[in-house]
């Protein structure tokens, strides 16, 4: 069983002022999160601005991440979309030989039925040469994957986990209570990680762990009291990461911490002066 317990870091894609990829910044970021105790890396998820990366750039970032990581941690690669056949083609065309699993988002915009979601993920899991992690984030995709849908898909031999970002604790608990023993419930919400741990969750794929991997090491591996206290340190900062859309606030925070530049690609723009002031006041030192 692939070990994806603890903190997965949903890596940003550092960029230069001209919005080209900053590979030096990527190296600094990966070394920072590994030194801070991250358990695995998630490359080209939503936080990595995958929506505005070309297919060639995504492959370049994946290759660079694999080279920088040098086998130190497992790597999960974001590979999803709302056109099932395009996803299947991308699976065929991507070298996944040094990738441990793919993270595939629930189809967005189309608003498929639950039966359509099951058919979509079944096709991906059948085609993928490596394990698949489901990703439910109805705040972005509109459509919620129900507990029943997740549990149906959890029985597929090549689907190993769910990244749950619905914010619905009862739905999460329904999944944990009934999922196969080797299936993983991964929090997709930094602030819900401790609560999910308490009912059987296995960790988080985190936004703020880009900046504070050591705090998330405590959240994911400390006792529940220490986990709770560590989470509370981030209560003021966490909502600021989404106030002007992820990863705008996060990239400003990373710039303030000296890790990478704050550049983001259109249609996102850099943090407003008001948001910068709020982040400076809420930073964990």
Between the CA of residue 222 and those of 203, 228, 235, what are the distances in Å? Answer: 11, 9, 18
How many whole angstroms separate alpha carbon 102 and alpha carbon 79?
6
Share of the chain above pLDDT 90, in %: 98
Is 70 exceeded by the pLDDT of residue 1? no
Active site residue 135: yes
3 pLDDT band, cuts 50/70/90, is confident
Q: What global pTM score does this model have?
A: 0.97
205 is in an annotated binding site: yes
Catalytic: which of 40, 77, 135, 252?
135
Is 80 exceeded by the pLDDT of residue 221? yes
CB 203 within 8 A of CB 5: yes
CB 198 within 8 A of CB 192: no
| 16-55: pLDDT as tens digits | 999 999 999 999 999 999 999 999 999 999 999 999 999 9
Helix (H/G/I), strand (E/B), else coil: 65: helix
How many whole angstroms separate alpha carbon 182 and alpha carbon 102?
17
CA 78 to chain centre: 8
Catalytic: which of 58, 77, 121, 163?
163
Helix (H/G/I), strand (E/B), else coil: 199: helix
Active site residue 163: yes
CB 39 within 8 A of CB 73: yes
Between the CA of residue 131 and those of 108, 151, 185, 239, 276, what are the distances in Å? Answer: 21, 16, 15, 32, 39
How many whole angstroms separate alpha carbon 161 and alpha carbon 212?
24
| CATH no. of 6-233 | 3.20.20.70
Domain boundaries, the chain: 6-233
47 is in an annotated binding site: yes
How much is the pLDDT for 20?
98
Between the CA of residue 274 and those of 84, 244, 250, 270, what are the distances in Å? Answer: 40, 11, 15, 11
How many whole angstroms separate alpha carbon 215 and alpha carbon 208?
9
Between the CA of residue 172 and those of 11, 141, 267, what are the distances in Å? Answer: 24, 18, 32
| 159-214: pLDDT as tens digits | 999 999 999 999 999 999 999 999 999 999 999 999 999 999 999 999 999 999 99
CB atoms within 10 A of CB 65: 25
CA 159 to chain centre: 16
| 223-281: pLDDT as tens digits | 999 999 999 999 999 999 999 999 999 999 999 999 999 999 999 999 999 999 999 99
Q: What φ, ψ does residue 160 adopt, rounded to 5°?
A: -110, -15
How many whole angstroms separate alpha carbon 23 and alpha carbon 14?
7
């Amino acid at each position: 069983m692939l070990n994806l317990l603890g903190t997965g870091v949903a890596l940003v894609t550092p960029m230069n002022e001209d919005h080209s990829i900053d590979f030096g910044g990527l190296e600094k970021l990966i070394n920072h999160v590994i030194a801070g105790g991250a358990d695995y890396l998630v490359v080209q998820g939503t936080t990595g601005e995958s929506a505005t990366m070309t297919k060639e750039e995504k492959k370049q970032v994946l290759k660079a991440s694999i080279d920088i990581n040098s086998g130190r941690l497992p790597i999960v690669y974001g590979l999803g979309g709302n056109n099932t056949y395009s996803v299947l083609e991308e699976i065929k065309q991507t070298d996944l030989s040094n990738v441990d699993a793919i993270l595939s988002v629930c189809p967005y915009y189309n608003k498929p039925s639950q039966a359509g979601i099951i058919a979509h993920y079944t096709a991906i899991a059948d085609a993928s040469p490596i394990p698949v992690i489901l990703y439910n984030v109805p705040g972005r995709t509109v459509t919620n994957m129900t507990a029943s849908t997740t549990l149906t898909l959890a029985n597929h031999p090549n689907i190993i986990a769910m990244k749950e970002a619905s914010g619905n604790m009862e739905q999460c608990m329904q999944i944990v209570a009934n999922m196969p023993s080797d299936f993983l419930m991964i929090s997709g919400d930094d602030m819900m990680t401790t609560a999910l741990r308490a009912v059987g969750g296995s960790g988080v794929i985190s936004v703020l762990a880009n900046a504070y991997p050591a705090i998330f090491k405590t959240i994911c591996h400390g006792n529940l009291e220490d986990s709770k206290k560590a989470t509370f340190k981030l209560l003021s900062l966490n909502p600021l990461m989404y106030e002007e859309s992820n990863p705008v606030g996060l990239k400003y925070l990373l710039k303030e911490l000296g890790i990478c530049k704050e550049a983001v690609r259109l249609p996102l723009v850099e943090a407003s002066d008001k948001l910068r002031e709020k982040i400076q006041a809420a930073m964990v030192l």
